[in-house]
Each structure stands twice: as structure tokens, then as C-alpha cells.
Amino acid sequence: MARTTVSRDPVAMLLEKILMVLAIQASANQSISQGARVLKIAGLDNVTIARILGTDPKTVSTLTTGARAASASRKRRSKKARKRR
């Protein structure tokens, strides 16, 4: 969902507002790291996630990279456990 150009199309602007509202609802009552992960899974880019969560895109990148690394580590451990059986 990277932004390359700013659209003046009223439909696109309305869809962007709807997306923001839904993203805020999805990340409500969560920590910044949990919210960043949820929004990243939803396909939003780091800049958009940062705007929604009120943080910096580098922070979002760090948080979501850590989540990917932890997820990959759990998958590797799970595969090793299955092979031992």
C-alpha cells in the first residue's frame, strides 16, 4: 500500500479515509508492536502504519522485522520437533 502519488479522486480519498478508520479500529487497545503486526499482516506499508499508530516508520520497520524473525524461529523449532517424533 505504498503511496507514490497523491490522488485527488474523491472515491480514492474516501476509500483512504475508510481504510484509516478500519485500521485504527483493528489496532485499538493494543500495544504499538501488536498494532504494527496486525496492520502489517493487513498489507499496510510502514509509513501508513506509522501515521495510524502515531510513531515513526523506522520504529514500525523494527517492530515488524522482529515479529517476522520470531515467527520464522517458531516455525523452525516446530519443524524440528515434528522430525524428532
Q: Are 39 and 52 in contact (CB under 8 A)?
A: yes
Residue from 69, 1, 65, 71 nearest 33 by CA: 65
What is the domain range of residue 72? 10-84
pLDDT at site 41: 86
Residue 51: the pLDDT is: 92
Residue 26 in any domain: the answer is yes
35: how many CB neighbours lie within 10 A of its CB?
22
C-beta separation of 37 from 64 below 8 A: yes
Answer whether residue 5 is part of any domain.
no
Residues in the chain: 85
Which residue stretches of the chain have pLDDT < 70? 1-7, 66-85
Predicted pLDDT at 67: 60
The reply to whether 20 falls in a domain is: yes
Q: Is residue 1 part of a domain?
A: no
pLDDT of the residue at 62: 93
pLDDT for residue 68: 59
